[in-house]
Amino acid sequence: CAISQNVHLCVFPYSETTKNSLESSLRQLKCHFTWNLLEGENSLDDFEDRVCNQIEFQNNEFKATMYNILAYIKHHRGQNEAALESLQQAEELIQQEHADQAEIRSLVTWGNYAWVYYHMGRLAEAQIYVDKVKQVCEKFSSHYRIERPEIDCEEGWSRLKCGGNQNERAKACFQKALEKNPKNPEVICGLAIASYRLDNRPPPQNPIDPLRQAIRLNPDNQYVKVLLALKLH
**Length of the chain in terms of residues written:** 233
* Cβ contact 69:61 at 8 Å: no
Q: Which domains does the chain have, with CATH numbers?
A: 15-140 (1.25.40.10), 149-232 (1.25.40.10)
Mean pLDDT in residue range 222-233: 81
Q: Name every residue whose Cβ is closer than 8 Å to that of residue 133 and which is 6 or more positions away in sequence.
A: 29, 107, 110, 111, 114, 144
User: What CA–CA distance (Å, rounded) separates 129 from 117?
Assistant: 9
Mean pLDDT in residue range 208-233: 82
How does pLDDT run across 86-123, given as a tens digit for each residue? 999 999 999 998 888 999 999 999 999 999 999 999 99
How does pLDDT run across 14-23, given as a tens digit for each residue? 677 788 899 9
* Cβ contact 142:167 at 8 Å: no
3-class DSSP string for 122-141? CHHHHHHHHHHHHHHHHHHC
User: What CA–CA distance (Å, rounded) separates 208 from 196?
Assistant: 8
* Cβ contact 167:197 at 8 Å: yes
* Position 11 confidence tier, pLDDT thresholds 50, 70, 90: very low
pLDDT tops 90 at residue 28: yes
* Cβ contact 130:22 at 8 Å: yes
Q: Which amino acid is at 228?
A: L
